[in-house]
Amino acid sequence: MSEEQNKQTLVAQETITAEVNSSDTIMDVFVRGARKGWKVAIDNIIPNVLMAYVCIKVLNVTGVLAWFGTAFAPVMAIWGLPGQAIMVILGALMSMGGAVGVAMSLFNDGTLNGTHISILMPAIYLLGSKIQYLGRLLGTAGVPGKHYPVLLGISFVNAAIAMFVMKIIAP
C-alpha cells in the first residue's frame, strides 16, 4: 500500500471510531445510523427515483418511449422483454435508483409486468451507476480510459447472462 492509501485508511478508521463512543448506548448508535440512512434516502435515492419516473412520463407523452420500444424490440425480445425495457438498462447505467424509478413507471403503465421486472433486476444491480463510477473511481485511481470499454463490456455480458438465467427461472 502506498503512503497516501495508508493515510486514507487511518482517517477512515479514526472516523468510524470517533462515531461510536464507549458511553453510547445501542439506542444512541441506532438513532444516529437511522438519521444517516434517512439523509441518504432524502438526498440521494428519492430524487433519483422521482427524476427517472418523471423522465419516463415525459418520454411516454412525447412518443419517444414508443420509438425506443419499436427500435429495441428485437434486441429485448431475446430476454422476453418489451423494447421499452431498454430504458431500464440505460437508467441503470446512470443510477440504480433511477433504474428502479424507470421500471416502476413502466410497470404502472402496464408496459412491464412482475416477470419482466424479475428479469431486469439483476441487470440493474450489475450495471448500476457505471457512468458515475467510471469517473469517480477509475478516473481517481488513474485507470487509463482505453480500459473503460472493456470494463463496461464485462458488465454488459454479466447483465445479459443474469437476465438469461432469470428468464429461465422466472415464472
DSSP-assigned states of every residue in 32-93: HHHHHHHHHIIIIIHHHHHHHHHHHHHHHHHTHHHHHHHHHHHHHGGGT--GGGHHHHHHHH
Q: Is the pLDDT of residue 71 over 90?
A: yes
65's grid cell: 418511449
pLDDT at 1 over 60: no
pLDDT of residue 80: 95
User: For 132-161, how does the pLDDT look when each residue is reduced to its tens digit (9 = 90+)?
Assistant: 787 778 878 888 888 889 988 999 999 999
Give the per-residue pLDDT at 111.
94
Pick the closest to residue 163 from 132, 95, 131, 117 (CA basis).
117
Which is more confidently placed, 4 or 144? Answer: 144
Q: How far apart are CA 87 and CA 98, in angstroms?
A: 10
Sequence spans of domains, the chain: 46-169
Region 82-98: mean pLDDT is 90
pLDDT at 41 over 90: no
- How far is it, in rounded angstroms, from Cα 2 to Cα 28? 36
Whether the predicted pLDDT of 115 surpasses 80: yes
65/77 Cα distance (integer angstroms): 16
Residue 8 has pLDDT above 70, yes or no: no
**pLDDT tens-digit readout, 95-107:** 888 888 889 989 9
Distance of alpha carbon 57 from alpha carbon 38, whole angstroms: 27
Non-local CB neighbours of 44 within 8 Å, separated by 6+ positions: 97
